[in-house]
Amino acid sequence: MSDAQDLLLDMIAALPDPVFVLTESGRYVALLGGHDRQYYHDGSHLVDFTLNDVLPAEKADWFLQEIRTTIHQNRLRIVEYSLAGRDVSGLPTDTGPRGDLWFEGRVQPLANPINGERAVVWVASNITERHDLQGQLQTLSETDELTGVYNRRKLLAELEQNFAKFQRYHTPLALLIFDIDYFKLINDQHGHLFGDQVLRDLAQQCQSQLREPDTLGRFGGEEFALVLPNTELKQALQLAERLRLDCEQMRFASTTNNAAITISIGLSVATKTDRDITDLLRHTDDALYRAKHAGRNCVKYRTPDTGSPPSMDL
């Protein structure tokens, strides 16, 4: 064997990331490199098996689609995907990384067929640390540091997304804006650290009342907003009243005495006259203003554009 061939074999064996050769039918033809068990499992047993032999049907179908798209487009494609050791049948999991892993796949079509089939080279790079860091940074950018709920920017993005669904599919959408009554007095009497704790406890209490698709965010200061997708006015009012009563019953222990709070709530549902979220926000803010001027500790809402206000049984 020549020195050039020896060098080529050494280079292939030393490839840091695993390189798969896969046919358009999903058969593993070869696996090269990727021997660092800190980042990759030993997948040598996969050769001559198919994706459908070793992967759950949904994941196998996804890989097959990516392979066939790459062959059809005849160009390099880059994809990101999640795959854990437990997803691959027969993979030894006593060595190698644990848990859910994220990979960047660089998929390149081969010029010549293998046993009559088109094929691709698939280089899988473990990007789990980068993916997790990106997730953490995104969470930080979307979260209010004090209360742990979403911040204003994320809240408006969720409202925009749900308003687009309302316009396209006419799915109901409700918005609540509420704030703590006389919050300045709480800070003046008990201090700002106590006021911060009130905000945290209030956010936690409200969050515990919500459904998975609902979005709670701190709008600023002592003001919060709540986006309620697929929610009609009657259901939104029932939730608003429940939140108001829950907050009224909360007690906060300070160094001097116990404190109580109340909240005022403005509510609006999206209607066909709303051109964008600015209109919906304005109507909801107007309802909050009326709640404040009605004596606070109450819920006010914009009535629908057509028909009578709903009969409420709160």
Which pLDDT score, from 0 to 100, does residue 304 have? 56
Q: Which long-range contacts (CB under 8 A, 24 or more apart) does 88-94 make?
A: 88/41, 88/43, 88/46, 88/54, 88/55, 89/53, 89/54, 89/55, 90/45, 90/54, 91/41, 91/42, 91/43, 91/45, 91/54, 92/41, 92/42, 93/41
307 lies in some domain: no
The answer to whether 23 touches 114, Cβ cutoff 8 Å, is yes
Tell whether 246 and 110 lie within a shared domain. Answer: no
Residues 44 and 155 in one domain: no
32-41, 124-133, 283-292: the lowest-pLDDT one: 32-41
Let me know whether 9 and 130 are in one domain. yes
Whether residues 90 and 115 fall in one domain? yes
Q: Is residue 311 one of the residues assigned to a domain?
A: no
Is residue 183 located within the same domain as residue 267?
Answer: yes
281 & 150 share domain: yes
Task: Report the distance separating Cα 254 and Cα 189, nearest Å.
Answer: 10
User: Taking residues 251-255, what's their average pLDDT?
Assistant: 76
User: Do residue 157 and residue 95 come from a single domain?
Assistant: no
* Any domain includes 209: yes
Using one digit for the tens of pLDDT, what is the confidence trace for 172-214? 999 999 999 999 998 888 889 999 999 999 999 999 989 999 9
Condensed to tens digits (0 to 9), the pLDDT of residues 152-161 reads 999 999 999 9
Helix (H, G, I), strand (E, B) or coil at 108: strand
The structural domain count of the chain equals 2
The domain boundary residue, chosen from 113, 134, 155: 134
CATH number at residue 100: 3.30.450.20
pLDDT of residue 314: 41
Structural domain ending residue among the three candidates 89, 108, 134: 134
Same domain, yes or no, for 168 and 281?
Answer: yes
Contact partners, residue 174, CB within 8 Å, separation at least 6: 228, 231, 232, 233, 235, 236, 267, 268, 269, 270
Same domain, 59 and 92: yes
Task: Classify residue 198: in a domain, yes or no.
Answer: yes
Q: Scanning the structure block, which residue is given the tokens 């304005």? A: 282
Report pLDDT for 303: 66
Rounded to 5°, angle at Cα 26 from 21 and 27: 60
Domain presence at residue 237: yes
Selecting among 80, 104, 222, 248, the annotated active-site residue is 222
Rounded Cα gap, residues 58 and 189, in angstroms: 59
Last residue of a domain, one of 90, 109, 134: 134
Q: How confident is the model at residue 98 (pLDDT cuts 50, 70, 90)?
A: confident
Quick one: pLDDT band at residue 311, thresholds 50, 70, 90? very low
- Of all residues in the chain, the percent with pLDDT exceeding 90 is 70
311 Cβ neighbours under 8 A, 6+ residues apart: none
CB 190 within 8 A of CB 178: no
Could you tell me if residue 280 is inside a domain? yes
Q: Considering the domain boundaries, does residue 107 fall inside one?
A: yes
Sign of CA dihedral 8, 12, 15, 17: positive
pLDDT at 307 over 50: no
Q: The whole model's pTM is what?
A: 0.68
Q: Is the pLDDT of residue 42 over 90?
A: no
Is 312 inside any structural domain? no
Whether the per-residue pLDDT at 215 is higher than 90: the answer is: yes
The mean pLDDT value of the chain amounts to 90
Are 148 and 275 in the same domain?
A: yes
Whether 80 sits among the annotated catalytic residues: the reply is no
Do 194 and 242 have their domain in common? yes
Residue 176 shares a structural domain with residue 35: no
Task: Give residue 62's domain range.
Answer: 3-134
CATH of the domain at 286: 3.30.70.270
